[in-house]
Copies of this chain bind each other. A is one copy, B any other.
Amino acid sequence: MSTPESQPPSEDAASVSKKAAKKEAAKQEKLRRRQEQEALAAATRSLAVDDEQDPLAANYGDVPLNEIQSKTVEDVSRWTEVGALTNTLENRSVLIRGRAQTIRAVGKNMAFVVVRERGFTVQCVATVQPDTVSRQMVKYVAGLSRESIIDIEGVVSAPSVEIKGTTQQVEVQVRKVYCVSKAAVLPINIEDAARSDAEIEKALQAGEKLVRVNQDTRLNNRVLDLRTPANQGIFRIQSQVGNIFRQFLLSEDFFEIHTPKLIAGSSEGGAAVFRLDYKGQPACLAQSPQLHKQMAICGDFGRVFEIGGVYRAEDSYTHRHLCEFIGLDVEMEIKSHYSEVMDIVGRLFVTIFDTLNKTCEKELEAVGRQYPFEPLKYLPETLRLTFEEGIQMLKDAGVEVDPMGDLNTEVERKLGQLVLEKYGTEFYILHRYPLAVRPFYTMPCHDNHAYSNSFDVFIRGEEIISGAQRVHVPELLAERAQACGIELKTISTYIDAFRYGAPPHGGFGVGLERVVMLFCGLNNIRKTSLFPRDPLRIAP
């Protein structure tokens, strides 16, 4: 039975650094206290309901569990999506399901509920009316808890004045309302989590102190945090990046592979590897699909790509590192030059950017409302500079760097600025890196072995892609590994794969979360990982 499904793994509390945790706990406690008071107030209001029998009781109430256990097959087209509620439906009766985002009573005869479904919101109004809406029903509506899932049957009306604070420009006059799933008191409010810093500052200047939800609180309550319009947008954009990546590559005669993440032995990388016991054998999690995607090329797969998990046990506490992320990997035969790989990179990413701008307008807007950003500047033909040219640009700008060393994050950012000023693009390729700063499997340049047939690609001054022509000659591969201090016997299987005829090839790897982060100008990679994993966080 049921192999692909199983019982969900358990999760312990997140381990956050003690100092941050303490501060966080105090904040949470304060927040919770406020919310408990609110809840108590709501409960008190609810208790005040007069108990008289209501002949209209069938029009509202909590749905008994039994009714939502697949009792009847209903025509799902009975429901209208909140996002589809427009004035073309005026005077029509509709059935909607969504969350009670905010609830507000006005006296005893009227209550407002803003219902939210997948980021879209509509205002619903329950007004006491003979034969349809009773006072008790209005009280029931007023007593709903925030974020509860409710079904509302009602009639669409289109007020002549603009409706503020909802995405939909119509209202629903409530006829029936049922609560499908009750929410407990919330640790964070969605409106608080959805607020931009600018809004908080503006309110502060006007003397009002609004709640600011910090990153750790968000991640500890990720299920609530994900409900904000910005997050609804971010993960739809992420899905679209993966989709465009695949569709572009499929159209270029690549196909998709899945390489194993469980690898025998312990990687030569040492500290940066997650080790585990595999049926009594030492094993580890793949730090990249490098080995196996190259083996697929040796297996005559020609052009391949993979979208899969990448695992790094590094102690990186930066805004751009995760211990688990999604790698977009490409590997391909080349006829003669690594520029063939850079051609793919250039066209692929221009396609990704173009298509996102075209198809994710609403999502990008939603992200921008909370986290304002400038649209990415890029050229139709991707700019390529050699590493030497980059060094020269830095030098001309008075930045002294080791011409044969690697660039650090700060220098990369500076170079990004210089490139933007000179060429008007925030997306470019820097190639022909010094050999010494690249992995051992990188092909040295034909004319100067101090350089290599490799490249990095930058968005808004940050590296997102790394690629190269690979060494396909086993003897040279062994020589390079030794020169890099790697014990040959630990990579013998890898080297052996090239002994039976290996086509010249190259490829590259990209982090999905980084692409989304940098395209949207976000400041932290944790914002683009659904349930991020860093050295301090492995939950929820």
Contacts and interface: CB of A to CB of B under 8 A. Distances in A.
Contacts of A242: 256
Interface stretch (A85-93, A176-184, A203-211, A396-404): A176-184
Contacts of A262: 274, 311, 323-324, 533, 538
Contact of A281 (B12, B438, B465): B12
* Copies of this chain assembled into the complex: 2
Interface stretch (A365-373, A414-422, A495-503): A495-503
Given A9-B287, A445-B69, A239 B256 contact: yes
A258 B326 contact: yes
Contacts of A531: 259-260, 292, 295
Nearest to A288: B6
A222 B295 contact: yes
B336 A8 contact: no
Interface residues of A, number: 175
Contact of A307 (B307, B443, B465): B307
Given A288-B4, A324-B262, A500 B183 contact: yes
Contacts of A226: 296, 299-301
Contacts of A353: none
A336 B73 contact: yes
Interface stretch (A48-56, A122-130, A165-173, A507-515): A507-515
Interface string A442-453: 011111000001
Interface string A286-323: 11101110111011111000011111110100000101
Contacts of A508: 4-5
A69 B263 CA distance: 30
Interface stretch (A20-28, A134-142, A156-164, A264-272): A264-272
A265 B10 contact: yes
A155 interface: no
A438 B6 CA distance: 9
A505 to B, nearest CB: 10
A309 B311 contact: no
A70 to B, nearest CB: 4
A267 B275 CA distance: 18
B274 A8 contact: no
Nearest to A453: B70
A215 interface: no
A180 B299 CA distance: 16
Contacts of A484: 7
Nearest to A226: B299
Interface string A332-347: 0001111110000000
Given A73-B337, A493-B11, A539-B493, A275 B273 contact: no
Contact of A260 (B235, B259, B407, B533): B533
A97 interface: yes
Contacts of A521: none
A472 interface: yes
A329 B4 contact: yes
B326 A290 contact: no
Contacts of A258: 238, 309, 326, 512, 530
A345 to B, nearest CB: 13
A278 interface: yes
A366 B430 CA distance: 42
A440 interface: yes
A509 B2 CA distance: 8
A37 interface: no
Nearest to A412: B1
B236 A255 contact: yes
Contacts of A472: 68, 181
A238 B257 CA distance: 8
A81 to B, nearest CB: 9
A392 interface: no
A72 interface: yes
Nearest to A183: B501
A533 B262 CA distance: 8
Contact of A509 (B5, B276, B443, B494): B5
A255 B248 CA distance: 18
A361 to B, nearest CB: 16
A476 interface: yes
A311 B268 CA distance: 23
Interface string A209-251: 0000000000000111111000110011011101100100010
Contacts of A3: 312, 321, 463, 466, 511
A456 interface: yes
A118 interface: yes
B440 A70 contact: no
A439 B512 CA distance: 33
Contacts of A461: none
Closest 9 CB pairs of A and B: A226-B299, A4-B509, A8-B291, A2-B466, A10-B490, A69-B446, A183-B501, A239-B255, A9-B267
11 contacts: A1-B406, A6-B288, A6-B312, A7-B269, A7-B290, A8-B290, A10-B492, A14-B264, A180-B504, A181-B503, A275-B277
